[in-house]
A and B are shown apart, each in its own frame.
Chain A
Amino acid sequence: EGKLSVYHWFEYIPQEVLDKFAAEHGVEVTMDTYDSNEAMLASLKAGKLGSYDVAVPGDYMVEIMAGEGMLDTFEHTELSNFGNIQPQWADVSFDPGRKSSIPYQWGSTGFSVNRDAYSGDINTTSIIFDPPAELKGKINVLDSQGEVLALASMHLGIPQCTTDREQLKALNALLQGVKGDWASFGSDIAKDVLVSGDASAGMIYNGFSAKARSEGANIEYAFPKEGFVVWMDNVVLLKDAPNRDNAIKFMNFLLEPENIAAITNYAQYTAGIEGVDQFLTDEVKTAPELNPPSDQPGQFVMACDQAVQEVYDTIWTNLKK
């Protein structure tokens, strides 16, 4: 008996998995969704902290939330399946010692291009930041400051959260210059615009792109040579969780290989849990989006300090003014 209140990304968990958890533990599960790490943070800050038990922030956001004191901690002994976590994800820089989080899925953020519209080389960030004529005005960009600015920095070859003024100015100038070639901003629509053909190219998460492809879009996911964003989303235990016990049960449930595999099959990213492979579909196992060439550099998005973040905010506002 009891409840569980989940704050989650959109289209990131199949209803069956929630139903399964609900049935197994006799818990009533409710879920709200968000479409960016920042939106989640803001809404928790604006008063919703205390009404959810768990959320699923990306790597850098875990660090931020911990710094804001928004996370509760647990003992590893509370989670009987804690040991299922793959070693490389068992201790991470954004949550040293995994005191508040467990891995959910990891993947990359790059972009996909409709092969009917453009047949040239797509493994370059120029597709987005210096687009070929065929794609101009047909590009959707994620409505996510962190990922866009990180990818843009890679395009320019400058470090994330740089404090160098010239580099920041160049970043600003790059975005100002290319904005006119972009059709729309949107994260949750990223798949739909590619499927419907509203956009011929678009920034997108790898799994989302795989889904778009399986829905009939003739697209190819790029692994640009300048770099791309990698991320890990994590289930975190929120401070003041109204149903902490059930939250722990839920996290433990998600460390079960069969359960997390169901999510991987649905969302088409990669789980950080041992023993998942046997449950995966062939489609997921062989998806090109999930199997990057090993030499390609992926980078986590960094959480910048306040001074840089304020410049980033200005650049972002300039982009959308």
Chain B
Amino acid sequence: MTRKVDLRRFTGFQAITWACLFMLYAPLIVVMVYSFNDSNSITIWGGLSLRWYGDVFWGPEAEKFKVAALNSIVIAVSAAVVSTAIATSAATALLRAGRFRGKSLSFVLVNMPLMVPEIVTAVASLIFFSAIGFTAGYLTILVAHIVFCIPFAYLPIAARMQSIEDVYEHAAQDLYASKWQAFRLILLPLMAPGIISGFLLAFIISLDDFIITNFVKGAGIETLPTAIFGSVKQGIKPNIMAISTLLLLVSVLFVTLSWLVGRKGQKQ
């Protein structure tokens, strides 16, 4: 019969999306391909090999990267846990606690880490930490990460909380649940998908951070980004490509998992 009039379709949008994907993936694919390059130099193709993957685990820099990866994960998990908790509490205050003094200011505050350019945060934190004698180390990184992860955790959590009508909690209260029980037994489970994506976002943001970490980190403490930066600025080495490829695979695994979790959450 006749062609279907689809008001959702715009000519060219699909092409742009594909182009967009191409631009996003081209560099990564190049990295993946070259990680299998059997050559000391990235500029010369020396045939297929897994030697750089061996190098990642047993090469001279392996120890450094292992420690850095561990640091990154420990910091990212802790920062994500704490910032998710703070963000959940803040979202409850801002969306569920009616009016109170300083509410709009609080709103600005929660989003502030997002608004202050990263370099300013980095420099300001460094100076402040040394001014108050808060010695650079693990803790400084952790604290700084918690701060800038809060708005990222807050966004999906608040979005989710906003979409949950408070009538469920009222119903719980009507059925003899205290406020805390209503929160724990009703609101929290309903929020789970938002909290999970807030956590993941915070985790990834923390795992990714370079500028602030580089400024506030203590002597000799490396996270993955600072370690990679230290080793890569002089020029990309094939072992870095191998590390990146591994990270990409881990990420894909992780995203896939979180996606499956999210989908399960959505079904309910």
Contacts and interface: CB of A to CB of B under 8 A. Distances in A.
B44 interface: yes
Nearest to A52: B219
B135 A51 contact: yes
A35 B219 contact: no
A142 B15 CA distance: 43
A32 B220 contact: yes
B233 A35 contact: yes
B40 interface: yes
A279 to B, nearest CB: 20
Interface string A40-59: 00000011101110000000
Interface in A1-22: 5-7, 10-11, 14-16
Contacts of B137: 51
B12 interface: no
A5 B219 contact: yes
A31 interface: yes
A95 interface: no
Contacts of A193: 235
Q: How large is the interface on B (under 10, 10 to 19, 20 to 34, 35 or more residues)?
A: 20 to 34
A195 interface: yes
Interface stretch (B73-81, B126-134, B255-263): B126-134
A46 B126 contact: yes
B136 A51 contact: yes
B118 to A, nearest CB: 17
Given A188-B234, A189-B234, A47 B127 contact: yes
Contact of A46 (B60, B130, B222): B130
A15 B126 CA distance: 29
B44 A216 contact: yes
Interface string A99-132: 0000000000000000000000000000000000
Interface string B12-49: 00000000000000000000000000001111100000
B213 to A, nearest CB: 12
Contacts of B230: 10, 32-33
Interface string B229-263: 01001111000000000000000000000000000
B41 A215 contact: yes
A155 interface: no
A211 to B, nearest CB: 10
Interface centre among A10, A16, A48, A216 (most CB of B within 10 A): A48
Nearest to B64: A15
Nearest to A11: B234
A193 B235 CA distance: 8
Given A5-B220, A10-B230, A47 B129 contact: yes
A11 B230 CA distance: 9
B117 to A, nearest CB: 18
Contacts of B135: 50-51
B233 A189 contact: yes
Interface centre among B126, B130, B219 (most CB of A within 10 A): B219
Given A47-B127, A189-B235, A216-B41, 8 more contacts: A5-B219, A6-B220, A10-B230, A35-B233, A51-B136, A51-B218, A196-B42, A197-B43
Q: Kindly list the 3 A-B residue pairs having the minimum CB-CB distance in the complex, ordered from nearest.
A: A47-B130, A30-B220, A192-B235
24 contacts: A5-B220, A6-B220, A10-B233, A15-B60, A15-B61, A15-B64, A30-B220, A30-B221, A32-B220, A46-B126, A46-B130, A47-B130, A47-B136, A48-B136, A50-B135, A51-B135, A51-B136, A52-B219, A188-B233, A189-B233, A193-B235, A195-B41, A215-B41, A216-B44
Interface of A: 5-7, 10-11, 14-16, 30-33, 35, 46-48, 50-52, 188-189, 191-193, 195-197, 215-216
